Amino acid sequence: MVHQRQTEESAALYQAVNCDLALDVAGKAKREGAGQFVYLSSMSVYGMVCGRIHADTMPRPNTCYGQSKLEAEKGLTAMADERFHVAVLRPPMVYGPGCKGNYPRLSSLVRSIRLMPSVQNERSMLYIDHLCSFLRCLLQSGEGGLFFPQNREFVSTDALLRAIAKGQGHGILLVKGFDALLRRMAPKQETIGKLFGTLTYDLSMSGAFPEAEQLPFEQTILLSEGA
């Protein structure tokens, strides 16, 4: 469960669905003799709007969603043993046909606004088909552990905006001169941070299953836009 406004009610629901239900299902799977359990967690466990995440970066969730995911991770990891492998994935923003969240909002924005500020940043992203390919390799391996699937290259917001506009069949004007201002605002304003801040996993964290198929970035955006 994700993309719900943070309230007392949603906090309880996050805990029930993202944590308690996952633990119940994993417990039943283990009792029934399953050898592997895969849990889709989130980059949100780090509680970061901007920054670079390394292998030794400690999770510090600052939302009910992130906290529920981290609590589930802890409970699931405690269940793991030599016969029951627990694989936890912490993907960055997942995008593609049918995906909800920040990408559809940005796509809608580009469709209606043809002028945006230009900024030099880097984002970790993951196309939905790349996630599926990674999951296929993971299931075939039967492995457990902590995994950080992402596209092979970081993406700048400039490149993302241009690719979305191309997929929609129009141009976009990116205006320079706002870089310093947006860099200062990004850590303090969540919406600006998600659009124009830098948030990445170190590429060395994503070396598992290099055989997983990936398409060129611009092609994934064209497919996402139905072009």
pLDDT digits (tens, 9 = 90+) for 51-70: 999 999 999 999 999 999 99
Q: What would the mean pLDDT of 133-151 be, rounded to a whole number?
A: 98
Contact criterion met (CB below 8 Å) for 52 and 198: yes
Mean residue pLDDT across the chain: 93
Please state, as a whole number, how many other Cβ atoms lie within 10 Å of the Cβ of residue 152: 12
Q: Is the pLDDT of residue 50 over 90?
A: yes
Whether 6 has a pLDDT exceeding 70, the answer reads no
Lowest-pLDDT range of 18-22, 135-139, 179-183, 197-201: 179-183
Distance of CA 96 to the CA centre of its chain: 12
Domains in the chain (CATH in brackets) are 1-90 (3.40.50.720), 96-123+154-227 (no CATH)
Q: What percent of the chain has pLDDT over 70?
A: 96
Task: Band the pLDDT of 152: cuts 50, 70, 90.
Answer: very high
- DSSP for 97-121 reads TT--SHHHHHHHHHHH--EEE----
Is residue 45 predicted with pLDDT exceeding 70? yes
Report how far apart, in Å, the C-alpha atoms of 25 and of each of 18, 21, 39, 217 are.
11, 6, 11, 35
pLDDT value of residue 170: 96
